[in-house]
Amino acid sequence: MISVILNGEPRQVREGSIADLVASLGLDVKKVAVERNRAIVPRSTLADVALVEGDALEIVHFVGGGC
């Protein structure tokens, strides 16, 4: 296990790719976007990017919002 910051909270996750993490969280990869250490990770490369100790990840999606 390695430690990462996921959506602002420290979290222990299994080693592997970002795609593995997204799947393990039960999220549909087609409905989210991922930022790693303040850089966008294109969806097509999520399976190729390995998580590294200390990574800061943001996983976002669309929610209701106005102005």
- Backbone φ/ψ region at 6: left (φ over 0), alpha (ψ -120 to 50), beta: beta
Q: Taking the complex as a whole, how short is the minimal distance between the CB of residue 23 and another protein, in angstroms? A: 10
Radius of gyration of the chain measured on its C-alpha atoms: 12
- Residue 66 in the binding site for another protein (CB under 8 A): yes
Q: Between 11 and 40, how does the x/- string for binding to another protein read (CB under 8 A)? A: --------------xxx---xxxxx--x-x
DSSP letter assigned to residue 51: P
Q: 2 or 33: whose CB is closer to another protein? A: 33
Residue that the structure tokens 């097509």 belong to: 44
DSSP assigned state of 15:
S
User: Any contact of residue 2 with another protein (CB under 8 A)?
Assistant: no
One-letter amino acid identity for 11?
Answer: R
Query: Which residues of the shown chain bind another protein in the complex (CB under 8 A)?
Result: 6-8, 25-27, 31-35, 38, 40, 42-43, 58-67
